[in-house]
Amino acid sequence: MIDNEKVKKILYGGDYNPEQWPEEIWAEDMRLFKLAHIDVVTINVFSWAALQKDDEVYDFSKLDKIMELVQKNGLKVCLATSTAAHPAWMARKHPDILRTEHNGIRRKFGSRHNSCPNSPTYRKYSLALAEKLAQRYQDYDNIVAWHISNEYGGSCYCDNCEKAFRKWLQEKYGTIEELNRAWNMSFWGHTLYDFDDVVVPDLRSEEFEWDGVCRTNFQGISLDYNRFNSDSMLECFRLEYEAVKKYTPDIPVTTNLMGAYKVLDYQKWAKYMDFVSWDNYPAYDCFPAQAAFNHDLMRGLKQGKPFALMEQTPSVSNWHIYCKLKRPGVMRLWSYQAVAHGADTIMFFQMRRSIGACEKYHGAVIDHVGNENTRVFREITALGEELDKIGDVMLGARTKSQAAIVFDWDNWWAAEYSAGPSKLINYHQEVMQYYKTLNEQNISVDMVSVTDDLSEYKLVIAPLLYMCKDGFDEKIRSYVKQGGTFLTTYFSGYVEDHDLVVTGGYPGRLKDILGIWVEESDALPEDENNSFTYKGKTYPAGLLCDLLHLQGAEALASYEKDFYEGMPVLTMNEFGQGKSYYVAAHSNDEFYKDFLGELCKGLSIKPAASTPEGVEAAIRENENGSFLFLLNHRSGTANVIVEREGIDLISGKAYQPGDRLTLEKAGVAILHYK
Ligand code: GLA
Ligand code: ZN
Residue 309's region, left for phi above 0, alpha for psi from -120 to 50, else beta, is beta
For 241, residues 6+ apart whose C-beta sits below 8 A from its C-beta are 146, 148, 253, 272, 273
Q: How far apart are CA 62 and CA 17, in angstroms?
A: 12
The fraction of the chain above a pLDDT of 70, given in percent, is 100
Predicted pLDDT at 345: 98
Give the tens place of pLDDT for each residue, 122-144.
Answer: 999 999 999 999 999 999 999 99
Q: Is the per-residue pLDDT at 2 higher than 90?
A: no
Predicted pLDDT at 657: 98
Q: How far apart are CA 171 and CA 167, in angstroms?
A: 6
Q: How far apart are CA 584 and CA 571, in angstroms?
A: 8
* pLDDT category of residue 6 using cuts at 50, 70 and 90: confident
Our answer on whether the CB atom of 573 is closer than 6 Å to any ligand 1 atom is no
Our answer on whether the CB atom of 534 is closer than 6 Å to any ligand 1 atom is no
What's the predicted TM-score (pTM) here? 0.98
The fraction of the chain above a pLDDT of 90, given in percent, is 98
Sign, CA dihedral 286-290-294-296, equals positive
Predicted pLDDT at 674: 92
Give mean pLDDT, residues 651-662.
Answer: 98
Q: Is the per-residue pLDDT at 445 higher than 90?
A: yes
- Closest residue to atom 7 of ligand 1, CA basis: 279
Residue 449, CB-side half-sphere exposure with 13 Å CA sphere: 18
Sign, CA dihedral 607-609-615-619, equals negative
Cα 229 to middle of ligand 2, angstroms: 9
Our answer on whether the CB atom of 151 is closer than 6 Å to any ligand 1 atom is yes
- Whose atoms come closest to the Cα of 96: which ligand? 2
Predicted pLDDT at 4: 78
Our answer on whether the CB atom of 202 is closer than 6 Å to any ligand 1 atom is no
- Beta-bridge partner residues of 115: 98
Which residue in 57, 52, 50 sits closest to 21, CA to CA?
Answer: 50
Predicted pLDDT at 374: 98
Give the tens place of pLDDT for each residue, 10-48.
Answer: 999 999 999 999 999 999 999 999 999 999 999 999 999
The ligand 1 atom nearest the CA atom of 281: 12
Give mean pLDDT, residues 468-482.
Answer: 98
The ligand 1 atom nearest the CA atom of 318: 12
Our answer on whether the CB atom of 348 is closer than 6 Å to any ligand 1 atom is no
Give the tens place of pLDDT for each residue, 535-562.
Answer: 999 999 999 999 999 999 999 999 999 9
The ligand 1 atom nearest the CA atom of 151: 8
Our answer on whether the CB atom of 314 is closer than 6 Å to any ligand 1 atom is no
Number of helices (H), then strands (E), belonging to the chain: the values are 17, 29
The answer to whether residues 647 and 668 touch, using CB atoms and an 8 Å cutoff, is: no
Give the tens place of pLDDT for each residue, 255-265.
Answer: 999 999 999 99
For 430, residues 6+ apart whose C-beta sits below 8 A from its C-beta are 463, 464, 489, 586
Task: For the chain, give the mean pLDDT.
Answer: 97
Q: In whole angstroms, how far apart are CA 337 and each of 440, 511, 650?
A: 13, 39, 14
| Phi/psi at 157 (5° precision) | -130, 35
Give mean pLDDT, residues 349-378.
Answer: 97
For 394, residues 6+ apart whose C-beta sits below 8 A from its C-beta are 10, 339, 344, 620, 622, 624, 627, 649, 670
Q: Is the per-residue pLDDT at 3 higher than 90?
A: no
Give the tens place of pLDDT for each residue, 513-533.
Answer: 999 999 999 999 999 999 999
Cα 210 to middle of ligand 1, angstroms: 30
Q: How far apart are CA 42 and CA 158, in angstroms?
A: 32
Q: Is the per-residue pLDDT at 120 higher than 80?
A: yes
The answer to whether residues 462 and 405 touch, using CB atoms and an 8 Å cutoff, is: yes
Ligand 1: which of 43, 44, 311 to mutate, most ligand atoms within 8 Å of CB? 311
Give mean pLDDT, residues 49-75.
Answer: 98
Active site positions, annotated: 151, 311
The ligand 1 atom nearest the CA atom of 45: 9
Give the tens place of pLDDT for each residue, 315-358.
Answer: 999 999 999 999 999 999 999 999 999 999 999 999 999 999 99
Give the tens place of pLDDT for each residue, 176-235.
Answer: 999 999 999 999 999 999 999 999 999 999 999 988 889 999 999 999 999 999 999 999
Predicted pLDDT at 363: 97
- Whose atoms come closest to the Cα of 98: which ligand? 2
Which amino acid is residue 376, in one-letter code? V
Q: Is the per-residue pLDDT at 314 higher than 80?
A: yes
Strands (E), 562-648: 568-575, 578-583, 615-622, 625-632, 638-641, 646-648
Give the tens place of pLDDT for each residue, 583-639.
Answer: 999 999 999 999 999 999 999 999 999 999 999 999 999 999 999 999 999 999 999
Instruction: Note if the bond before 350 is cis, omega within 30 degrees.
Output: yes
- Closest residue to atom 3 of ligand 1, CA basis: 349
**Beta strand pairing call for 403-406 and 445-448:** parallel
- Whose atoms come closest to the Cα of 157: which ligand? 2
Predicted pLDDT at 211: 86
Q: Is the per-residue pLDDT at 571 higher than 90?
A: yes
| Phi/psi at 249 (5° precision) | -60, -20
Instruction: Note if the bond before 421 is cis, omega within 30 degrees.
Output: yes
Predicted pLDDT at 5: 76
Q: Is the per-residue pLDDT at 427 higher than 80?
A: yes
Our answer on whether the CB atom of 3 is closer than 6 Å to any ligand 1 atom is no
Helix (H, G, I), strand (E, B) or coil at 440: coil
